[in-house]
Amino acid sequence: MSSNLKQWIKFGIVGLLNTGIDLGTFTLLITGGFPAIPAQIISYSCGVLNSYVLNSRWTFREESGHKQQEIPRFILINLAALAVSSLLLKLMYGRSGISLILCKLAATAASLLINYAGSRYFVFTRQIKREKE
């Protein structure tokens, strides 16, 4: 199995855990009376914290190691993914008869590529690779 495939599988496993944390927190907040977008921001942030810890220590372990560069980049990529998922959530829920939870799942799925590409090629990159190019 290629290292890229292994990395993609690890990223998927971490993503499932993040989604569970995100969706569980979102559901609890919505049930508690929070509006959708503040609940989205809080729940997404909980998933992001888990994502950074697991992806930096497990998924992209070989590329990880430059924390001063990783953390701001990780935040930037996840702010972009949060913006996309929040916009999609607002558009889908506001204009369709689909349940809020299904809209949340669709918005989360849509941000997956942003997160993987950003993590793989922008956040957890080896400094050595950059110096050679």
pLDDT tens profile 67-99: 777 889 988 998 999 899 889 888 888 777 788
Higher pLDDT, 125 or 23: 23
The string of DSSP codes covering 72-126 is HHHHHHHHHHHHHHHHHHHHHHHHSSS-HHHHHHHHHHHTHHHHHHHIIIIIS--
